[in-house]
Amino acid sequence: MAPFIHIGHFSVPTFGLMLWLAAVAAAFVMDRAFRRAGVTADAVGMVAIAVVLGIVGAKLWHVVDTPIEFREEGWQVLWDTAGFAWFGGLTFGISALVLQGWRAKIGGLRTLDLAAPSAAIGYGIGRIGCFLSGDGCYGIETKLHWPWGMSFPNGLEPTLPGVRVFPTPLFELGAGLLIGWWLWRRLGKPHATGAIVGQYLVLSGIARFLVEFIRRNPKVLWDLSNAQLASAGSALVGVALILWAGRRRVAEPAAAAMQKPA
C-alpha cells in the first residue's frame, strides 16, 4: 500500500489524490449528462460545491457515528485525513445538488437524476484512495485459502502480521462503476423525473448494505451497523421515489430538462 506519494520534499496523500480524481471524473460525467439533456447550467461548478459539502458531511457523520474518537482526540479528529462516513457525504451532497438545481431552474429532482451516474462513478473511484492508503476501511479477516484476501502492512491502520482481510474498497469500486454504467444507460432513455435517482438510492443502498457484512464496523441494532441502517433507509426512499415517478408522465431525456422543475 502507498498512503503517500513522495516527490522530493513533498508528500502527497493518495487518499486526497484519488478524491480529487473522483471529483474530476464525476464532473466530467455530469457535464456530459447535462449536454445530452440540453441543460446549459454549470455542471462542473455544481459538482465542486457538492463535493466540498459532501466531504464536510462525511466527516461530521463519522464523528457522530464514532463518538469515542472525538472523546479521545478532541477537535483534531475533524482534520484527520481518515474517517469519512458514506451516508453523511450522501446527505450533504444531495442537499447541495437540490439547492443548486433549484437556483438554476432545472429542478431539484431533475438535477439529482442527471447527477446519479456521476455520483456512483465518483464514489467508486474515491474508494481507491481508501484502498491505497489502508485507512482501515478494509474488511474483516478472511480465511487463508480465499484468493481475495489481502494484507495492509504499510497502511495508515496496518493489519497485523500474517492477517489477510477483505479488500472491500475494491468491491465498492466495482459496484460503483457498474451502478454508474447502468444509470448512464437509463438516463439516456425516456424516464419520469425522479426515476433515475430512485434507482441510484436503491442500488447504492443495497451495495453498501451487503458489503457491510464483511467490513469491520460495529453492530448497533439488530446485528446491523449504522451504515447498514442508513443504506436500508436510503434504499426505501429510492423505492418510494421509483413508485412515485412511475405515476408521472415519462419524458424524453432532452425534453425533460424543459419541464417544470420538480
DSSP per position, 172-238: HHHHHHHHHHHHHHHHTS-B-TTHHHHHHHHHHHHHHHHHGGGB-PPEEETTEEHHHHHHHHHHHHH
Whether residue 122 lies inside any domain: the answer is yes
Is the predicted pLDDT of residue 85 greater than 80, yes or no?
Answer: no
Q: pLDDT grade, residue 78 (50/70/90)? A: low
Whether residue 261 lies inside any domain: the answer is no
Q: What's the number of domains the chain is made of?
A: 1
pLDDT digits (tens, 9 = 90+) for 174-212: 999 999 999 999 999 888 999 999 999 999 999 999 999
Mean pLDDT, to the nearest integer, of 113-118? Answer: 94
Point out the least confidently predicted range of 39-48, 86-95, 198-207: 86-95
Q: Decide: 212 and 227 in contact? Cβ < 8 Å.
A: yes
Write down the pTM of the prediction.
Answer: 0.82
Position 76 scores a pLDDT of 58
Comparing 85 with 255, the larger pLDDT belongs to: 85
Burial string for 65-84 (b: 16+ CB within 10 Å, else e) reads bbeebeeeeeeebeeeebbb
Which residues contact residue 138 at a Cβ distance below 8 angstroms, ignoring those fewer than 6 apart? Answer: 130, 131, 150, 152, 155, 159, 165, 166, 167, 168, 169, 215, 216
Position 201 scores a pLDDT of 94
Position 82 scores a pLDDT of 54
Position 118 scores a pLDDT of 93
Point out the least confidently predicted range of 34-43, 154-163, 235-244: 154-163
Whole-number mean pLDDT of the chain? 82
Whether residue 227 lies inside any domain: the answer is yes
Mean pLDDT, to the nearest integer, of 22-35? Answer: 92
Q: How far apart are CA 247 and CA 226, in angstroms?
A: 33
Mean pLDDT, to the nearest integer, of 51-78? Answer: 66
Is the predicted pLDDT of residue 91 greater than 70, yes or no?
Answer: yes
Whether residue 148 lies inside any domain: the answer is yes
Provide the residue range defining the domain that includes 92. Answer: 4-256
Position 30 scores a pLDDT of 93
Report for 69-83, 123-137, 242-256: range of highest mean pLDDT: 123-137
Give percent above pLDDT 90 in the chain.
32
Mean pLDDT, to the nearest integer, of 133-142? Answer: 82
C-alpha atoms less than 13 angstroms from C-alpha of 142 in its C-beta half-sphere: 15
Q: pLDDT grade, residue 258 (50/70/90)? A: very low
Whether residue 262 lies inside any domain: the answer is no
Whether residue 180 lies inside any domain: the answer is yes
Is the predicted pLDDT of residue 239 greater than 60, yes or no?
Answer: yes
Helix residue spans in the chain (DSSP H): 14-37, 43-65, 67-73, 86-103, 108-133, 168-187, 195-211, 226-245, 253-256
Mean pLDDT, to the nearest integer, of 145-166? Answer: 81
Residue 170 grid coordinates: 475494491
